[in-house]
Amino acid sequence: MNVLNYIGAFFDDSAHWQGYDGIPTRFAEHLQYTLTALGIAAAVGLPIGLLTGHTGRGGNALAMIATAARALPSFGLMVLLFILLGLGMTPVMVPLVVLAIPPILVTTYEAMRSVDPAPVDAARGMGMAETQILFRVELPMALPLILSGLRSAAIQIVSTATIAAYVSFGGLGRYIIDGLYQRDYEKVVGGATLVAGLALATLAVFWLLGRLAVSPGVRRRV
């Protein structure tokens, strides 16, 4: 049997489609972890990135924070927090948020810095206030890059949320970890396929988001 047979067998088994351990439940759990972590990371990363990018200060500090955050191993951090805090959502969320903040923060900063200064000067000359410049000139122009930062953060969260299953949580990682322990290879491969599929779906969602949200004028230039 090769991998494709395993995938087929996994998805053909109707037991995998219903109930507590069914694909819909696990999928919803996985999505919930991903969206929560992405939401928290964006709530922290976006404002700081926009503000530092607008003023052009603190770039070095951001790069250092990003390097430090990337050096923290997500899996180890999760197990450590699990030991320290016990069973709960925090040990899962903290590593996911730590993982997602660097790409969001750094790309947002770089996106704001790479905005063509001419329109910004023109806006200032027309008498726009700084907040207006930030939200009506710089943000729309920086949007494609900002979205790409959110996209890599989202993809990394989707793939890393699998490890939540190791500290007793649900999500698609449940199939991979249970399958490994039960020596049920079909389950492992099925879970892996689902996670990869969700990651690819995330790519598609962000591509669509870029189509809808980015102004046509900016898109042509990029």
Partner 1 sequence: MTELFDMPSDLQHSYLGLVALHLREALIPVLAGLLVALPVAQLCVRVRWLYPPLLWVTTVLYAIPSLAFFVVLIDYTGLSETTVMIPLAVYSLVVLVPAIVDGVRSVPQETLAAATAMGFGPLRRYVQVQLPIAAPAIIAGLRVASVSSISLVSVGMLIGNEGALGNLLNSGLSYNQPRLVWLSVVGTAVLAVLVDALLVVLRLLVTPWMPRGNRKNTRTRAVKEAAR
Tell me which residues touch partner 1 (CB under 8 A): 2-3, 59-60, 62-63, 66-68, 70-77, 79-80, 82-84, 102-103, 106-107, 109-110, 113, 148-149, 152, 155, 158-160, 162-163, 166, 173, 176-177, 179-180, 185, 188-189, 191-193, 195-196, 199-200, 202-203
Nearer to partner 1, 4 or 89 (CB): 4
Distance CA 107, CA 39 (A): 16
Helix, strand or coil, per DSSP, at residue 161: helix
Nearer to partner 1, 40 or 147 (CB): 147
| Residues recorded for the chain | 222
**DSSP string covering 4-25:** HHHHHHHHH-GGGGSSTTSHHH
Helical segments of the chain, H only: 3-12, 23-55, 59-71, 74-85, 90-113, 117-125, 130-132, 139-160, 173-182, 185-213, 216-221
CB of residue 79 to partner 1, shortest distance in Å:
4
CB of residue 72 to partner 1, shortest distance in Å:
6
Distance CA 72, CA 68 (A): 7
Distance CA 23, CA 21 (A): 7
Nearer to partner 1, 41 or 195 (CB): 195
CB of residue 136 to partner 1, shortest distance in Å:
24
Distance CA 39, CA 32 (A): 10
CB of residue 18 to partner 1, shortest distance in Å:
23
CB of residue 84 to partner 1, shortest distance in Å:
7
CB of residue 128 to partner 1, shortest distance in Å:
27
CB 119 within 8 A of CB 142: no
Nearer to partner 1, 125 or 183 (CB): 183
Task: Provide φ and ψ at 2, rounded to 5°.
Answer: -105, 180
Nearer to partner 1, 5 or 18 (CB): 5
CB 57 within 8 A of CB 113: no
Nearer to partner 1, 128 or 178 (CB): 178
CB of residue 156 to partner 1, shortest distance in Å:
9
Nearer to partner 1, 47 or 76 (CB): 76
